[in-house]
């Protein structure tokens, strides 16, 4: 199984429409989207959805993940509790590019009540279009990983 092209998506109830727009956008660009919902608008709990997507990334089933809630903050906090996950909330493309290049982030979190669809898609493109630069940044990412043990 190759995970190179697989990307996990999840959200809580506050971000279903934006998550589905992102799924369509990245699928059209050739990503294999593993969208684990939810699909119905009942109020739900963002930690469970953040964890579920994070486990797909941490296990290697998916290369990257994108998660969303109202602010992007709560679901990011949950995802970052899963060993091996480095997830940042981004509200603009510069940070989304930098968390890949410098922090080797493997998940991006977005706030559906913070950014509109057009900006969100630009943030996603910046995240997916960047690669980790390694070098001195690898030393620092290794220091983050060391905090897990």
Catalytic residue set: 69, 102
* Residue window 5-24: x/- pattern of binding to ligand RB5, with contact defined by CB under 6 A: -------x-x----------
**Nearest distance from C-beta of residue 73 to ligand RB5, angstroms:** 5
Tell me the window of 53-61, 68-76, 92-100, 117-125 that interacts with ligand RB5 (CB under 6 A).
Answer: 68-76
Residue 47 binds ligand RB5 (CB under 6 A) = no
Residue of 50, 65, 74, 93 that binds ligand RB5 (CB under 6 A): 74
Give me 59's structure tokens: 């296990």
DSSP codes joined into one string, 53-104:
HHHHHHTTSSSEEEEEESSSHHHHHHHTTSTT--EEE-SSHHHHHHHHHTT-
DSSP run (H or E) holding 7: strand 6-11
DSSP codes joined into one string, 34-45:
EE----S-S---
Residue 66 binds ligand RB5 (CB under 6 A) = no
Binding residue positions for D-ribulose 5-phosphate: 12-13, 70-74, 103, 113, 136, 140
């Amino acid at each position: 199984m190759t995970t190179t092209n697989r990307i996990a998506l999840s959200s809580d109830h506050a971000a279903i429409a934006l998550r589905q727009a992102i799924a369509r956008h990245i699928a059209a660009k050739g990503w294999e989207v593993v969208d684990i919902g939810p699909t119905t608008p009942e109020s739900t709990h963002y930690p469970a959805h953040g964890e579920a997507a994070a486990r797909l990334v941490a296990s290697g089933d998916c290369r990257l993940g994108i998660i969303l809630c109202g602010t992007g903050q709560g679901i990011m906090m949950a995802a970052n509790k899963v060993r091996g996950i480095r997830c940042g909330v981004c509200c603009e493309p510069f940070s989304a590019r930098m968390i890949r290049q410098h922090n080797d982030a493997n998940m991006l979190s977005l706030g559906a009540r913070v950014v509109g669809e057009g900006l969100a898609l630009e943030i996603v493109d910046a995240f997916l279009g960047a690669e980790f630069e390694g070098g001195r940044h690898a030393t620092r990412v290794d220091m983050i990983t060391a905090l897990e043990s």
